[in-house]
Amino acid sequence: VQALVKAKLSQSPRLWLVTNGAQPVPSNNLVILGVAQSSLWAMGKVISLEHPELKCVRIDLDPQQTIKTQAEVLFQEIWSEDKEDQVAWRGDERYVARLVASRHQQGISQQQGDATTQKPLCFREDATYLITEGMGDLGLLVARWMVDKGAKHLVLLGSCSPDDANSQKITELEMAGASVVVEQADASDVESMTRVLYKIEQSNIPLAGVIHSAGMLSDGVLQNQSWSSFEQVMASKVKGAWHLHQLTQNQPLDFFVLFSSVASLLGSPGQGNHALANGFLDGLAHYRRGIGLPGLSIHWGSVAQVEEVAERGADVSLQKQGMGVISPTQVLESLELLMSGSDIEVGVVPIEWSAWQERVAQWPFLADWQETTQTTSEISKSEFLLKLNATAPNERRSLLVAHVRRKFALVLGIHHPESISLETGFFDLGMDSLTSVELRNKLQTSLDCSLPSSLAFDYPNIQSLTDYLEKTIILPSDDTGSESETPETILDKDSLELESSESLFSEINQLYENEIDMAVDEAIGQLDQLLE
């Protein structure tokens, strides 16, 4: 992605992320074999948000098909004019991803009160329950709830010792009749986790459930990210979850709950590594259920009064766009509902869909929510351009200046756009790399054109940015007499279709041998090292 953006090609290339057996599909009992690849789909959502010009498409191939058949399917998808960007093939069936309403959507309290559909959740007195990052606010919130529901033996694991306030909460758990063991250990370290699980085994109070809530952030747009920041974020999430899976897979657990994030469900600009790590948790939950083990992944939004979740799981920019916060009570009610049911992957996210007009209009994944946004893609996409084109040429610049001002003010939360000087630098006014991407995306949508990701850096104030947009958007439409350069055709569909399939697949195989294998092996090798 970084290389594609840095290349600054005259015509934006397309990006396809291809996986093999990494996605679960309806009515298909095949275990997802590419659990490590599943995280790539979550990061693809971030790529789509930060770099919509790449039109990132995720394709999951059928692992039971031959390489030749897979190549044919991939070739068909690449040349397809379909707008679907999340596609999975199983045999001759083509599946597309959709976000659908949960059966619990009508209200937590209402569903919880229906005794015919939900059994009251309670925990066993003769069992041990393990909570990673159990000494933080969220872990202790869950621990208190479990004790209230009958749990008598808890192991709270964390890389740091609890502070005074949380030490008091642990004391309160013990006063309520629970035996609480505090383990200072790194979930990403297999030796530490082996030691913790061995101590539980030796206690003769068997482990009956795991809640994995560990995680950290190292935010930044993809263009500024490094592999080391990905490793930091993935350590506790990915390695921690995988160690827990491997060390407990032969034990008869009642539940194995993974705390994922809205970042892997809906994407979150500036949190590519966070989305990637949580995407692995989602894939692991499906993998475990596929092999007959318990598994549940919950995409949490922002949780009020829980500091580390507000910092880690919640994307503040998403809150500005219409995403609310979850109360601690709603967290516990949601846990009771979901842990009592049969769901595998669920989002607990309060969203005001009317504020998501642009994204719903552009993402097929959100197609089922179009009516909720009370808009149409045609109106939201062309309204300003129609107004601009209907304006007299000598008045268009002032209209464009006002438009850029409004978009910039919206991104930075400035209430009076007219107060922004034309020559004051964006970054002097508080813009950062994340909000620069947000500004670029909003202008791309309203102007219906492709703009460089470095837009705010190359044109760092309203004056210079308007100059650039005026030349890019207004002048080309007026200059009908000039000859436009025709971009060089790299691939011609008709000529390719005339080639024999044997020749085409020979070329594909040669590419695999000479270039693709090396790149893919290196990337997967780095991920495999995290899972060792």
Of 472, 434, 435, which is closest to residue 451 (Cα–Cα)? Answer: 472
Cα(346)–Cα(96) distance, integer angstroms: 18
Give tens-digit pLDDT for 389-403.
888 888 889 999 999
**Secondary structure class of 503 (helix, strand, coil):** helix
Spatial neighbors of 321 by CB under 8 A, at least 6 apart, are 355, 356
For domain 2-96, is the CATH number 2.60.200.20?
no
* Residue 128 confidence (pLDDT) above 90: yes
What pLDDT is stored for residue 103 in this prediction?
Answer: 77
Give tens-digit pLDDT for 366-376.
988 877 665 44
Contact between residue 23 and residue 50 where contact means Cβ atoms under 8 Å apart? no
Q: Is 146 exposed, middle or buried (0-12, 13-18, 19+ CB in 10 A)?
A: buried
Contact between residue 170 and residue 92 where contact means Cβ atoms under 8 Å apart? no
Out of 101-110, 324-333, 476-485, which region has the weakest mean confidence (pLDDT)?
Answer: 476-485
352 phi and psi angles, rounded to 5 deg: -95, 95
Cα(122)–Cα(152) distance, integer angstroms: 11
* Residue 522 confidence (pLDDT) above 60: no
Q: How confident is the model at residue 56 (pLDDT cuts 50, 70, 90)?
A: very high
DSSP letters spanning 300-334: E-EETT-HHHHHHT--HHHHHTTB-EE-HHHHHHH
Contact between residue 300 and residue 348 where contact means Cβ atoms under 8 Å apart? yes
Cα(532)–Cα(530) distance, integer angstroms: 6
Q: For 252-267, b where at least 16 C-beta lie within 10 A, e where not — what string?
A: ebebbbbbbbbbbbbb
Q: Which pair of tokens denotes residue 177?
A: 């009749």
Q: How confident is the model at residue 37 (pLDDT cuts 50, 70, 90)?
A: very high
First to last CA, the chain: 26
The set of long-range contacts for 172-176, using a CB threshold of 8 Å and a minimum separation of 24, is 172/144, 173/140, 173/143, 173/144, 173/147, 176/147, 176/148
Cα(205)–Cα(193) distance, integer angstroms: 17
**Intrachain domains 2-96 and 126-356 with the same fold:** yes
3-state secondary structure labels for all residues of 424-461: CCCHHHCCCHHHHHHHHHHHHHHHCCCCCCCHHHHCCC
DSSP letters spanning 255-266: EEEEEEEHHHHH
H helices then E strands: how many in the chain? 25, 13
C-alpha distances out from residue 365 to 326, 396, 438, Å: 23, 36, 20
Cα(523)–Cα(17) distance, integer angstroms: 13
Out of 13-22, 24-33, 156-165, which region has the weakest mean confidence (pLDDT)?
Answer: 24-33
C-alpha distances out from residue 69 to 64, 166, 500, Å: 10, 57, 15
What pLDDT is stored for residue 531 in this prediction?
Answer: 57
For domain 126-356, is the CATH number 3.50.50.60?
no
Of 325, 347, 309, 315, which is closest to residue 216 (Cα–Cα)? Answer: 309
Q: What angle do CA 232, 233, 238 make, to 5 degrees?
A: 105
**Pairing state between β 128-132 and 207-212:** parallel
What pLDDT is stored for residue 20 in this prediction?
Answer: 95
Q: For 6-30, b where at least 16 C-beta lie within 10 A, e where not — what string?
A: eeeeeebeebbbbbbbbbbbeebee
Contact between residue 22 and residue 283 where contact means Cβ atoms under 8 Å apart? yes
Of 263, 146, 181, 266, which is closest to residue 215 (Cα–Cα)? Answer: 263
Domain boundaries, the chain: 2-96, 126-356, 377-476, 493-531
523 phi and psi angles, rounded to 5 deg: -65, -45
* Helix (H), strand (E) at residue 132: strand 128-132
Give tens-digit pLDDT for 76-90.
999 998 899 999 999
The topology (CATH level 3) of 377-476 is 1.10.1200
Cα(87)–Cα(19) distance, integer angstroms: 10
Q: What is the Cβ-side half-sphere exposure of residue 437, based on CA atoms within 13 angstroms?
A: 21
Contact between residue 154 and residue 148 where contact means Cβ atoms under 8 Å apart? no
Contact between residue 442 and residue 410 where contact means Cβ atoms under 8 Å apart? yes
Q: Which pair of tokens denotes residue 518?
A: 């090396």
What pLDDT is stored for residue 43 in this prediction?
Answer: 96
Cα(87)–Cα(360) distance, integer angstroms: 18
Residue 204's CB: how many other CB atoms inside 10 A? 8
Cα(292)–Cα(16) distance, integer angstroms: 32
Give tens-digit pLDDT for 286-315.
999 999 999 999 999 888 877 655 444 444
Q: Which pair of tokens denotes residue 423?
A: 């020559």
Contact between residue 282 and residue 260 where contact means Cβ atoms under 8 Å apart? yes
Contact between residue 245 and residue 161 where contact means Cβ atoms under 8 Å apart? no
Out of 127-136, 250-259, 357-366, 408-417, which region has the weakest mean confidence (pLDDT)?
Answer: 357-366
Which carries the bigger pLDDT value, residue 415 or residue 210?
Answer: 210
* Residue 473 confidence (pLDDT) above 90: no
Of 214, 161, 154, which is closest to residue 187 (Cα–Cα)? Answer: 214
Cα(85)–Cα(66) distance, integer angstroms: 23
